[in-house]
Amino acid sequence: MTGGFFITGTDTGVGKTCTAIALMHALQRQGKTVLAMKPVAAGCLMQEGGLKNDDALALQSHASLPLPYPLINPYAYAEPVSPHIAGAHNPVQLAVVTRQFALLKSQSDCVLVEGAGGWFSPINSGQSNADLAAALTLPVILVVAIRLGCINHARLSQLAINQSGLPLVGWIAVCTEPNMSYQQDNIAFIGACLAVPLLGIFPYLSVVDFDFLANQLDISALGIGCPPSIS
């Protein structure tokens, strides 16, 4: 049975895309066919006749199979604002996303789905990333940006994920600041609070190296390859 994970973060700009690509590399090393999608993206630029998002393009380029861009990012919005505002003219429909996810799922061992912003960030006027994850019935991986305020953000995110009924199966610490004081102390405290596997710590990098980041991951806690979806 094919499966996947929903990748959410404590905020926007915390390293979800880098995390997704590093996870793709780690799973591909196990011989898995891994695809990824970013269903909703704002701040897209016109490229080759359509609106495209840099993060979604990166996911597309690292996938195990060549895929048409609209399958990876069905909702691409030009304005760099919250999707419920940017997409007022073409709001996200969960049924569209779930159909496209099913297509990816049928072609792969694992699909990684990157959310837009944090867990409760809106994707349309009435639904959030939490609703999207629930519609896809995927276990969740939480990306925590290690910076001032990260403990509160991580614990609130965990509480919200738990209340949704979806399993939080692991978290990844992304060091977004080069010289944060007591960085390791914060990571240790968050790990004790979350009480789910720490899948990896990504040190601050001025230039991203996905193979290096994949080496920082221990995905054994996720089981062999990917678990099935929870539906």
All residues at 6 or more sequence positions from 145 whose CB lies less than 8 Å from its CB, including other chains: 9, 10, 11, 13, 14, 15, 153, 174, 176
Q: At what angle do helices 150-164 and 129-136 cross, to 10 degrees?
A: 40
Task: Enumerate the β-bridge partners of residue 101.
Answer: none
Hey, what are 159's tokens? 């509480």
Among the options 16, 38, 52, 105, which is catalytic?
A: 38
Closest CA to 231 of 170, 141, 167, 142: 167
38: annotated active-site residue: yes
Task: Enumerate the β-bridge partners of residue 127.
Answer: none
Tell me if 39 sits within 8 A of 83, measured CB to CB: no
How far does CA 167 lie from the centroid of its chain? 15
Tell me if 79 sits within 8 A of 53, measured CB to CB: no
All residues at 6 or more sequence positions from 170 whose CB lies less than 8 Å from its CB, including other chains: 141, 142, 196, 197, 198, 199, 221, 222
Identify the three-state secondary structure at position 151.
helix
Q: Which residues are catalytic?
A: 38
